[in-house]
A and B are shown apart, each in its own frame.
Chain A
Amino acid sequence: MVICALLPLLQLRAALGEAVARLREPVALAPPHDGPRVIGEVSPPARAFGLTPGTSLGEAVEICPELGLITPDPTRAEAVHEGILRRLEGIGAAVESSRPGEAFFRADGLDRLHGGLGGVLAAARRGLGPAPRLAAAPTRLAALAAALEAEPGEAVTVEPARLRGHLAALPVTILAGRLERPGGEEAVRSMRRLGLKRLGDLAALSRDHAADRFGPVGLEARGLARGEEAPLRPRPPREEIVEQVELPEAASGRHLQGGIAILCDRLSGRLRAAGLVARAFVLDARLSGGGSWSREAFPRHPTASSQLMRTLLSPAVEGLPRPAERLRLRAVAPAPADPEQFELDHRPERARRRRLDEAARQVRAVVGERGLMRVLDAEADSRLPERRMLLTPYRGAG
């Protein structure tokens, strides 16, 4: 059985903080200052006005003049989401999550530890507290649908015998954003236009009809409607190294750059001391007047270099909408440093070859095997031009 833990409107809840009671008013997440001018998550009263995430700001205010716009707090939202995942991992679950406030894990294997499915649900409830909704079902989609219907604090179970009926009654719109193959959104719209309102209608189509009308994405949708899903893909164990600095007064410009330099040096020192490098860095800021801001940076190679971190992160803070009160820098997924990584490698020949191989791999990935060939001398002095040189597939700089 797959268990779904759902905390709806996580981003809006995180942005509201203590004022979570405002969810009973028409409120929506304001657009990010450097993003498209559309609203984010909306409260149930705002939804009753017909507002949905992605509505343009102007249209939203016109439809609902009393709409309250809440400054997003992505840092807090991520912290809440990460907290949910870690607490579930704390009960032994291997968790898959691709959306804020949504997590899936298999109960199999945990039931002996916790005493059956009920015990697993109870352990998850103890870990998560009363707010999230929990549901167990044979597939991810069925568990999600059951969790969406559940009351806060409630745990619903869909028995395998009820799976088909449970799925058949769901609207096809539940597939929106859930199809991995390209063209999913368009396919869901087409299904509705063609009168396929429920997953049961989709499941009743023959495989050939689904493929003819909707292509590969149609087959994927039909599979989900019939309870056929790919296995869960739990996230790998995750470690983070964090450094933060409280800024004495709301800082911007050069002061902020100074803060970043301090953070990069500290983080670099900790990574080097532990013999680690990181594949990604996340810089986030708590803004004066509320709200937060964050940016990710991905170096080409895992690194512990303070200089490289600064180079990657310094330009990003120019986009800060307001002065910052606190800066935090996280090294994501740190791993043991490869003794031959380029910063420590004193064999330039080998480093060049490795870089060339990596470049070749990237070219091949974009243009295919034929995009990269090596010219070899065969009979360089031949009087017949076609015998002088050979064109062979490039296998590496070796």
Chain B
Amino acid sequence: MSRPGPTRAGRAPGGRAGRVTRLYQPRPVEVVGGPAPVQVDGVDVVAVREEWLVEDGWWQGADREVRRRYFELVLVDGRDLTVFRDCRPGSGRWYSQRA
């Protein structure tokens, strides 16, 4: 099963010169709470500004399927952060991502 993170096109920014990389790669984070996050990497969430679901590629088979629940959060330290939960069966991991 494919995972969010580096795609077939290349590695995360900072990879070896000469390679194609993708911007805005998801980065794993520790999230407490559910369904909406209440803490991200130990920092409390003050507000959930927005929430949306992205489903894609399900018609191409399980390997290409994408199912993410995004949250745009305001943290107690003032950051505006977008995180998502990988909702595919067997995952459930959380990632932050510039969106």
Residues of A whose CB lies within 8 Å of any CB of B are: 368-370, 375, 378, 383-393
Contacts and interface: CB of A to CB of B under 8 A. Distances in A.
Nearest to A371: B17
B7 to A, nearest CB: 7
A388 B99 CA distance: 10
Contact of A384 (B13, B21, B56, B98): B56
Contact of A391 (B4, B7, B21, B98): B21
Interface string B1-43: 0001001011001100111111111100000000000000000
13 contacts: A369-B18, A378-B22, A383-B54, A386-B4, A386-B25, A390-B9, A390-B21, A390-B22, A390-B23, A391-B21, A392-B20, A393-B17, A393-B18
Contacts, number: 49
Given A368-B17, A383-B56, A393-B17, A388 B9 contact: no
Contact of B97 (A375, A385, A389, A393): A385
B66 interface: yes
Contacts of B21: 390-392
Contacts of A393: 17-19
Contacts of B25: 386
A385 B99 contact: yes
B24 A389 contact: yes
A396 to B, nearest CB: 15
Interface residues on B, range: 20 to 34
Contacts of A375: 23
Contact of A387 (B14, B17, B18, B22): B22
Contacts of B7: 386-387
Interface string B64-87: 001000000000000000000000
A385 B23 CA distance: 8
A369 B17 contact: yes
Contacts of B26: 386
Residue of B19, B23, B25, B54 most packed against chain A (CB within 10 A): B23
B98 A390 contact: no
The 7 A-B residue pairs whose C-beta atoms are closest, nearest first, are A369-B17, A385-B24, A389-B23, A391-B21, A370-B17, A385-B99, A386-B24
A391 B98 CA distance: 15
Nearest to B13: A391
A386 B25 CA distance: 5
Contacts of A390: 9-10, 20-23
Contacts of B22: 378, 386-387, 389-391
B23 A386 contact: yes
